[in-house]
Amino acid sequence: MEVAYRYVKQRRQFGRQPHFTDQGAELLLDLRPNEEHAKAWIVKQQATAAVQAAPDMSEHEVNTVAVVSVPKGMAHVEGGWAKDDVEGLLRFRKKVEKDEDYIRTVVRLGTMVEDLVKQNNAIDIYEEYFADVPAQHLSQAPSTSTLTILRDPSGVRRGAQAISWQPDGSGRLAVAYSVLEFQRQPAGMPSTSHVWDVANPGAPEAALAAPSPLVTLGFNLKDQNLVGGGQYNGQFTFFDLRKGPSPVEATPVEHSHRDAVRSFAWTQSKTGSELMSASTDGSVLWWDLRRLGGEPLESLTLRERGAGEAGAVLGGTVVEYSPQAGPTKFMVGTEQGAVLAGNRKAKNPADRITAAYAGHHSAIYALSRSPFFPKFFLSVGDWTTRVWNEDLRTPIITSPYNAAHLTGGTWSPSRPGVCYTIGHSGALEVWDYYLKQRQASLTGGRADVALVHRPLASLALAPGAAPRLAGIGCTGGTVTVLQLSEGLVEQQDNEKAVISAMLERESSREKNLEKSAKEAKAKARKEAARTAEPLDGATDEELAQLEREFMEMIKQ
C-alpha cells in the first residue's frame, strides 16, 4: 500500500518575484592608480624552473686521485739487429710477413681502423669552428669566485703575511704565518709555516719549521723544491722540501739584518741561488745559498741619492727585481714613502742609488714592474695606487684616495692594463685601465666573508700565461684562493697598443707639466731679482738707522 502526502506552498511565501531586464553598464566607482606608489616597486624578472619526477643526484666527491710519482731505477740492455746486418733483418721480416697468423691479424686490425677513419672523416668532434676569431670579453662583467679556503692549522691567530705559488703551475703554494706587531705575539705562538695543495685544502702538504716566524718566503725559480724565507729575527733561511721541515741553512746572526726581513727577491744568475733581501733596519744584502753561512756578497745602506754618510737611513719594506729591466737594476720601497731605484754594478758605491720617487705619505707595501712595459712600475702605499715612469720623478697615474690603507698590489701577468690591490677594508679591487681609469672595475669581489671582515695582508697570482687563481691572505690566518673570470686574464685584441699609448700620453703630459713648472719658477726668480732694491748705494747712517728700527721692532 502506497502512502503519499502532497505539500502545497503558496507563491507569495517564496518572497518577491524578481523581474530581470537588459540594461546598459553603470559605473559605480573609478579608482585611479597612484604613480608615487608605483615608483616603490619594480617588475620581477621571469624565472624558469625545471621540474622532473626523479630527484637530482650528484656525487659527493669530485676530486680525482692525485698521481704519486716514485723514482725507480731500471737496467736497460741494448738489443735488436745490428746496424750492419741489414740482410738478416730483411730475411726475418719476410719470414714474419709470410706467417698466416700475422696476415690474419693485420686483416682484422685493418678493418677496425678503417671504420674509425671513416667516422673521423665524417665528423671531427675536436674541430674548432671559431679558432680564428679572437675572444671578446668586454661584455662580461669582471668577477671572482671562491675556489677554496686554507685555514691556519695552528689554532693561534697569526697573519698570512706572504704567499708564494710554485712556479711549475701545480697548484701548490707556501704561506708564511707570523705576527708583525712588536711584542704582541700570542703566548705559545708556533713559528711553523706551511705548504698547501689547492686540491687538498683539508691539511697542509708540508711544514716549514723555522726557528723564528717567517715574515716573507718564496719558491726558487730554478729548483722548485727550495723555499727561501726571511725571519722575524733578521736571518734568512731556506728549506728543501725533499729533506723535511727543518731548514737546511741560515745566515749568521752577526751578519744578518738587525730587524725583520720584510722582503727578498731571487736575482738572475747561472745557478739560480743568488738573492737580495731588504729590511726595515735600512740595509739591503745580497746572498748566495751555496755560501749562506758566511758574510753577504754585498751590502747597501738605504739613503737618498747624494745624502752621503750623514744622511738619514730609510727602512726598506719591499724589494722589486725584474730581469726585463736589467740584470743589475732593482728598486726598494721604504717606510718613509719613497721608492729608491738602484744599480748593483755602479762604478762608484755612492752612486748605487740612481733615483728616488717620492709621493706616498706612509710606508710602501708593494712594488710591481709591468711585465709588458718594463719602464713603468706600480707602487702601493698609504691610501693610493700610483703608476710611475722611471724617467720621471712624479707619478703619471694616481688612483683616488681609498677609505682604508692599502697593503698590497700587483700587475696582471697576462693583461697589460689590469692590476690588483688589497687593503685593510678586506676588499679586493681590480683596476682595468683598458675599460676605465677613474674607478675600479671590480671592488670587493664578494668572494667570501674572509675577504670582508678582516684586513688583507698578502696577495699573489698563480704563475702561467693566463693565471686563473689568486691567493689572498688576511691577518686572521685565512688564505682564500679565488678563481678569476676569463675577462680578467685573457688579453683583448688591441689592448697592448691601447695601454702603451695611454702610458706614453700620460708621460708626455707629466713632462709638459714639469717643463711649465720649471719655466714659471725661473720667471719668478728673474722677476724677484729685477724688482729687488739694491743696498749698495746706502750710506752708513742709513744702515745704522735701519738697524735701530729693527731692534725696536724686536723689543716691541
Q: What is the pLDDT of residues 219-243, one digit of tens each?
A: 999 998 999 999 999 999 999 999 9
Of the two residues 533 and 489, the one the predictor is more confident about is 489
Say if residues 137 and 153 touch (Cβ distance below 8 Å).
no
pLDDT tens column, 37-96: 888 888 777 878 777 777 777 666 656 666 777 888 776 555 566 666 778 888 888 888
Give φ, ψ of 261 to 5 degrees: -80, 105
What's the pLDDT at 137?
Answer: 57
User: Which residues lie closer than 8 Å to 239 by C-beta, 6 or more apart?
Assistant: 208, 226, 227, 228, 229, 245, 246, 247, 248
Give φ, ψ of 340 to 5 degrees: -105, 125
Of the two residues 19 and 191, the one the predictor is more confident about is 191
Q: CA-to-CA distance for 53 and 469, rounded, in angstroms?
A: 39
Which helix H or strand E contains 504, and what residues bound it? Answer: helix 495-531
- The mean pLDDT value of the chain amounts to 85
Per-residue buried b or exposed e for 452-485, using 16+ beta carbons within 10 Å of the residue's own CB? eebbbbbbbbbbeeebbbbbbbbbbbbbbbbbbb
Mean pLDDT over residues 384-410, rounded? Answer: 92
Mean pLDDT over residues 285-308, rounded? Answer: 88
What's the pLDDT at 205?
Answer: 92
What's the pLDDT at 450?
Answer: 39
Give me the residue label for grid cell 719549521: 209
Per-residue buried b or exposed e for 23-48, using 16+ beta carbons within 10 Å of the residue's own CB? eeeeeeeeeeeeeeeeeeeeeeeeee
Nearest residue to 377 via CA among 423, 407, 340 = 340
The helix/strand/coil state of 431 is strand
314 pLDDT higher than 60: yes
Q: CA-to-CA distance for 431 and 93, rounded, in angstroms?
A: 68
**Of 154-158, 421-425, 430-434, 546-550, which range is least confident?**
546-550
Q: Residue 88 is placed in which grid cell?
A: 738478416
448 pLDDT higher than 50: no
387 pLDDT higher than 80: yes
The helix/strand/coil state of 111 is helix
Share of the chain above pLDDT 70, in %: 90
Give me the residue label for grid cell 721608492: 339
Q: pLDDT band at residue 1, thresholds of 50, 70 and 90?
A: low
Of the two residues 396 and 31, the one the predictor is more confident about is 396
**Residue 123 to residues 31, 110, 298, Cα–Cα distance (Å):** 66, 20, 65
What's the pLDDT at 444?
Answer: 63
